[in-house]
Amino acid sequence: MMRHNDNPPVYTGQIPPLPLVLVIDDLFGRTLPDGENPERRDLCGQFLLEEVAGDGQGQTGTQRIKRPEAQAVFCRGQTPAMAAIGDRVDNDLAGTLAVVRQHWHPVGDAAPVSMVLLDLCFYTGVVTAASEAKRGKGMPEGREGDDQTKNYFGLRVLEALHNHFPDLPVVILSSMPRAGVSQQFSRLGALGFLPRGDANSPALLRDYLGRHGLIPDASGTVIGNSKALLLALRAARRAAASRKNVLIRGETGTGKELLAQYLHDQTPDAESKPLIAVDSGALSPSLYASELFGHRRGAFTGATDDRTGRIVQANGGDLFLDEIGNMPEDVQVGLLRAIEQKEVTPVGATNSQKSDVRFITATNQDIEEKASTGRGFREDLYYRLREGGVIYLPTLKERKEDIPLLVAKFVRDAETLTPGAMHRTIDPQARDVLLGHDWPGNVRELRNCIFKAVNDHPDVEYLSRVHLYLPTRDHSPSEARDNLAVRPQVGATSPVNQIEELARVLDGFDVELLEPAGLSGKFPAIQAAYARLVARLVLAAVNVTRRPTLEHPEGDILIHPAMKLLSGDKDMTASKAADMIKRLLKLYPDAMQSILLDKTLAEIHRIAVRLRPVGRGASSRDRRKAR
Amino acid sequence: MLPDWQHRRNGFNHDWLKNRFLTAMSSFVNILDDLVEDPETELRFVRDLLPQWPGRAAEAAGLIAAFKTEMSPTILFRQPPLYRCGPATMEWLPGLVHLLWCQRLSVNRMCTDACRAIAVANDSYEHIAKALVECASPVSVETLRPYRDLFSEFRAACEEVSLSISSFPNRIEVV
């Protein structure tokens, strides 16, 4: 096996400043006894690569790249990595794969290698004075066939990489002619070809990294180094290159709006183009068309002025529409026209306005199902919205390795926003608890959990497990390390256990994280009391957010700000508020009837059901009724 | 088995020109552009590699000159089974095959283009050599920076040499 550095770069808790490339090449990857490889130094100088590791001995000496395109680690792909005259050099597929594995599956929260740059022709055989004079120090004379296309060791490595690490981005870096191998390397999954002698190499490398590399978001908009997230970021960068519409799919709380922001930022000349975001969930059906298309004065009651719609505001740029699955069908017709004909007609207007917009839409619903069955979403619109691709955002459970990075970020944010909060370190036990949780509410739930922990405990230097309010039992460190996301067992056997369970559920009470399963069927009277307590909280929140009007001096019921207040969720929308109310008032169905005897609570519930007849918290009867 | 001409071409174009010379020159141009700092070996290209050009250019010219004889399908008439052709056939067939090969592959044009590329690179090299003589002593990155465009032009010319030599077929083409 080849010699290789046992300590790859680890970026604990940090977003790596640059993408990391692994260069597999006999000439540039070899180690020389005097500690410097001049060809590697030249390659780094040409491609503006900053060597960070590789064979354990930096081979680029005092070279300093002022504005590096990437960091680089090097691997010879042969054994021995350091050869002298008389040594025999052989290709080492197993050793090469081991090096790749080390960088593709790094320990801890380090980012995986962004891209592999792979040479094609590897010379083998004995190192002689003549071979050194011809090819460089430590280079062998070459065996018959080494430089024949069909024998290229690089293609064997490529095939093995394709089989073992199918998601790993590989680009060929060779001085051999592209034409002779283009079919082979394409078939084996290489994403492109970087010719060595090209003067535009840094620009080419930047271009390849942008299109094919797995690169964390250095701007910090989207936090994480996991492969699942990096694949989504790459899909966003690829989509950003065209002006075609993009659909983002992902569960609630996965960060769809942040990904839309990232996609917009990656667009050429993004700074000169607008990004307009519309939270479709916060719009009533009647306001939807006006919001998107604008309206003319007098178009409807309350339309006292002309208003420019969001689509026209986003002209030349991007319009982000969240919760697209809830769009009223009549608005869908107008949106389809806006996409196909690039024009919109404001409500109440007779003339249309031109507007060239890329639509970035998002949903957590099974919109394909809705479109294919024709229930609630137009199929032709669906295909128009996904012309530039569909990007799937992973759940937090699918990217648990990002939790430490996210926690570090949220803790810092929360400390900044909490007056007087001390700067704290994250206790390893707390980290294990956070890693062991399932996070059904995804990143938003994690953020809320951390913010609550900091807000409630501003005067401590450690974020400890006792500060974390999680609705499920904690996991042992070993479970957390194994990433076992085991849900708690609810069937506690002894009364003592049951009371402990009850205490834990009550202690971890959080309206947004509420999981009544912990009480289910054990203490009917307490469960009913619990449900009434929650209902009173809903009522209190609604009462303090009421806005008096002339017609209603006691104030209109505004569920959106009320639920925002109650949950602390800055991203609260009207539809989410409606879902939340339905869920909270239905915590214990047996108590619901008595709760709704209260006139105001009954009205709150009625508003929520009217706004969201179908959705989270709706019963199957509700859904049938809605159809 | 690769013809010897191919090995020699790989030795020049792959091992030396692209892997070492052009890579080092690109890095050096980046040093002149102040994108890279390399205080210990920043002049390695100028001192060690650049002076190799005249000899290597002659090697490249020799390769091109040898192409017509070493890569022509006429050499197949010296190997089985064609070496069994009778003397009468040998009198006219190899010559015809060579003529057809030259025409179909535009061999003369390829050779002329490659020679022209080498000549352009040689001119460019001469400009640099002259500049190095005129350059204030001692030679340093600072004193060479005004000649940055000469290095950039030489690099482009060498890339053309590499491209033109790459365009030659990589096996003996049968016509």
pTM of the model: 0.73
Q: Confidence class of residue B23 from pLDDT cuts 50, 70 and 90?
A: very high
Closest residue, chain A, to B164 (C-alpha):
A177
Q: Confidence class of residue A622 from pLDDT cuts 50, 70 and 90?
A: very low
Judge whether residue A625 has pLDDT over 80: no
Cβ pair A46:B41 closer than 8 A: no
Alpha-carbon distance A75 to A95, whole Å? Answer: 10
Q: What are the distances in angstroms from CA A123 to CA A36, A127, A188?
A: 20, 10, 21
Query: What would the pLDDT profile of A378-436 be if each residue is shown by its tens digit?
Result: 999 999 999 999 999 999 999 999 999 999 999 999 999 999 999 999 999 999 999 99
pLDDT of residue A523: 65
Q: What is the DSSP string of A315-358?
A: TTSEEEEESGGG--HHHHHHHHHHHHTSEE--BT-SS-EE---E
HEC readout, A410-479: HHHHHHHHCCCCCCCEECHHHHHHHHHCCCCCHHHHHHHHHHHHHHHCCCCCEECHHHCCCCCCCCCHHH
Q: A396-488 has which fold? A: Helicase, Ruva Protein; domain 3 (1.10.8)
pLDDT of residue A402: 94
pLDDT of residue A149: 87
Domain A227-392 classified CATH 3.40.50.300?
yes
Query: Going by DSSP bridges, is the β-strand pair B36-37/A64-65 parallel, antiparallel, or unpaired?
Result: antiparallel
Cβ pair A147:B14 closer than 8 A: yes
Could you tell me if A148 lies within 8 Å of chain B, comparing CB atoms? yes
Cβ pair A147:B170 closer than 8 A: no
Cβ pair A46:B30 closer than 8 A: yes
pLDDT of residue A459: 94
pLDDT of residue B26: 95
Q: Confidence class of residue A236 from pLDDT cuts 50, 70 and 90?
A: very high
Cβ pair B23:A196 closer than 8 A: yes
DSSP letter assigned to residue A144: T
- SS3 percent helix, strand, coil of chain B, rounded to 5, is 80, 0, 20
Query: What would the pLDDT profile of A561-611 be if each residue is shown by its tens digit?
Result: 888 888 887 778 888 888 888 888 877 777 777 788 788 888 898 888 888
Domain ranges of chain B: 4-166
| Nearest Cβ partner for A27 among B1, B19, B162 | B19
Cβ pair B37:A64 closer than 8 A: yes
Alpha-carbon distance A489 to A173, whole Å? Answer: 54
- Per the model's pLDDT, the better-predicted residue between B160 and A33 turns out to be B160
Judge whether residue A484 has pLDDT over 90: no
- Per the model's pLDDT, the better-predicted residue between B80 and A358 turns out to be A358
% of chain A with per-residue pLDDT over 90? 57
Q: Confidence class of residue A170 from pLDDT cuts 50, 70 and 90?
A: very high
Contacts of B31 in chain A (CB under 8 A): 45
Judge whether residue A528 has pLDDT over 80: no
HEC readout, B13-29: HHHHHHHHHHHHHHHHH
Q: Which of residues 57-76 of A touch B (CB under 8 A)?
A: 61-67
Domain ranges of chain A: 20-212, 227-392, 396-488, 518-626
Alpha-carbon Rg of chain A, whole angstroms?
A: 30
Contacts of B17 in chain A (CB under 8 A): 197
Q: What is the SS3 assignment for A233?
A: helix
Alpha-carbon distance A206 to A267, whole Å? Answer: 15
> How far away is chain A from the Cα of B102, in angstroms, using its nearest Cα?
22
Q: What is the ipTM of this complex?
A: 0.91
Could you tell me if B52 lies within 8 Å of chain A, comparing CB atoms? no
Cβ pair A45:B17 closer than 8 A: no
Closest residue, chain B, to A49 (C-alpha):
B36
Cβ pair A197:B36 closer than 8 A: no
Judge whether residue B16 has pLDDT over 60: yes
Cα–Cα–Cα angle for A135, A45, A67, rounded to 5 degrees: 165
Q: Report the top-level CATH class of A20-212.
A: alpha beta
Query: What would the pLDDT profile of A174-194 be if each residue is shown by its tens digit?
Result: 988 888 888 999 999 999 999
Q: What is the SS3 assignment for A92?
A: coil
Interface test with B, best of A175, A178, A205 (most B CBs within 10 A): A175
Query: What would the pLDDT profile of B53-80 be if each residue is shown by its tens digit?
Result: 999 999 999 999 999 999 999 989 988 8
Q: How far apart are the first and last CA of chain B?
A: 20
The chain-wide mean pLDDT, for chain B, equals: 92
| Nearest Cβ partner for A39 among B20, B30, B170 | B20
Alpha-carbon distance B112 to A240, whole Å? Answer: 45
Could you tell me if B101 lies within 8 Å of chain A, comparing CB atoms? no
Query: What would the pLDDT profile of A80-119 be if each residue is shown by its tens digit?
Result: 999 999 999 999 999 999 999 999 988 777 789 999 999 9
Same fold, A20-212 and A227-392: yes
- Those residues whose C-beta lies under 8 Å from the C-beta of residue A507, and which sit 6 or more positions away, are A469
